[in-house]
């Protein structure tokens, strides 16, 4: 599989793909945090780091021609939640500086046209934001609480066009 991971962090998605026995042929990672990139690079020598999501897939941007060949199988991403989460007072939602990066995810999704996509974000977002994301992506989200698979109690929404994705067993 050829993967484009947006807001990649320390490439946990790469580990999840490996754990689920998916063969990763190429893994592009868009991330700007130097500490997350350092962890990613120490674990995975073959990841292609492509920098800021704002430059991905734009003509003249890093790896533009490689990514735009139309052979990306899966785009994975979880745009920043700070402007959506109830933990932030005076949140600006999808108009905020951080959570507004969701629109970069959408731009890239439209330009790259992968076979599949997964978008993750907080369950505690305002109803209007959830409805807008759902309408924009054309699929209903699945709420998964991380407590089903880890020691964390964190409810997250996942939007995907991968068929037959359901709640994991506890």
DSSP structural state of residue 37: H
Token couple for 9: 């962090």
Contacts of residue 3, defined as CB under 8 A and 6 or more positions apart, other chains included, come to: 13, 14, 17, 24, 26, 27, 28, 72, 73, 74, 75, 76
CB contact at 8 A, 133 and 121: yes
What's the alpha-carbon Rg for the chain, to the nearest Å? Answer: 16
13, 53, 72, 81: which is the annotated catalytic residue? 81
Distance CA 138, CA 155 (A): 21
Is 94 labeled as catalytic in the residue annotation?
no
**Distance, C-alpha 167 to centroid of its chain:** 18
Token couple for 169: 């067993």
- Residue positions annotated with a catalytic role: 81
């Amino acid at each position: 599989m050829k993967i484009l991971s947006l807001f990649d962090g320390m490439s946990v998605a790469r580990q999840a793909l490996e754990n689920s026995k998916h063969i990763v042929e190429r893994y592009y990672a868009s991330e700007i945090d130097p500490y997350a990139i350092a962890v990613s690079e120490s674990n995975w020598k073959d990841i292609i780091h492509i920098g800021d999501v704002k430059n991905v897939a734009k003509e003249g941007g890093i790896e533009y021609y490689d990514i735009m060949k139309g052979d990306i199988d899966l785009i994975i991403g979880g745009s920043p939640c700070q402007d959506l989460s109830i933990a932030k007072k005076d949140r600006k939602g999808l108009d905020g500086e951080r959570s507004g990066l969701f629109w970069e995810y959408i731009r890239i999704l439209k330009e790259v046209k992968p076979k599949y996509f997964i978008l993750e974000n907080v369950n505690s977002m305002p109803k209007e934001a959830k409805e807008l994301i759902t309408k924009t992506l054309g699929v209903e989200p699945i709420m998964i609480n991380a407590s089903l698979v880890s020691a964390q109690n964190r409810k997250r929404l996942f939007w995907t066009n991968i068929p037959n994705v359901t709640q994991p067993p506890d």
